[in-house]
Amino acid sequence: MKWIFHNPDFAYERFHPAILSASAWLGHRHFAYDLIRFMKPDTLVELGTHWGASYFSFCQAVSDDDLLHTNCYAVDTWTGDPHSGFYANEVFTTVSSVNEQLYTQIGSLVRKTFDEAVTGFEDQSIQLLHIDGYHTYDAVSHDYETWLPKLAPDGIVIFHDIATRFGDFGVHRFWEQIKMKHPFIEFTHSGGLGVLFPKGADSRFNEVFAMKDFLPNIYKNRAALK
pLDDT for the residue 166: 87
**3-class SS string, the chain:** CCCCCCCCCCHHHHCCCHHHHCCCCHHHHHHHHHHHHHHCCCEEEEECCCCCHHHHHHHHHHHHCCCCCCEEEEECCCCEECCCEECCCHHHHHHHHHHHHHCCCCEEEECCCHHHHHHHCCCCCEEEEEECCCCCHHHHHHHHHHHHHHEEEEEEEEEECCCCCCCCCCHHHHHHHHCCCCCEEEECCCCCEEEECCCCCCHHHHHHHCCCCCHHHHHHHHHHHC
pLDDT for the residue 226: 62
CA distance 30 to 91: 23
Instruction: Quote the pTM value.
Output: 0.95
pLDDT for the residue 22: 67
Query: According to DSSP H, which parts of 128-193 are helical?
Result: 137-147, 171-178
CA distance 39 to 58: 11
pLDDT for the residue 85: 74
pLDDT for the residue 84: 73
pLDDT for the residue 21: 76
pLDDT in tens, the chain (226 residues): 799 999 999 999 988 788 887 677 889 999 999 999 999 999 999 999 999 999 999 999 999 999 999 999 999 999 978 777 777 798 999 999 999 999 999 999 999 999 999 999 999 999 999 999 989 999 999 999 999 999 999 999 999 999 999 889 999 999 999 999 999 999 999 999 999 999 999 999 999 999 999 999 999 998 876 6
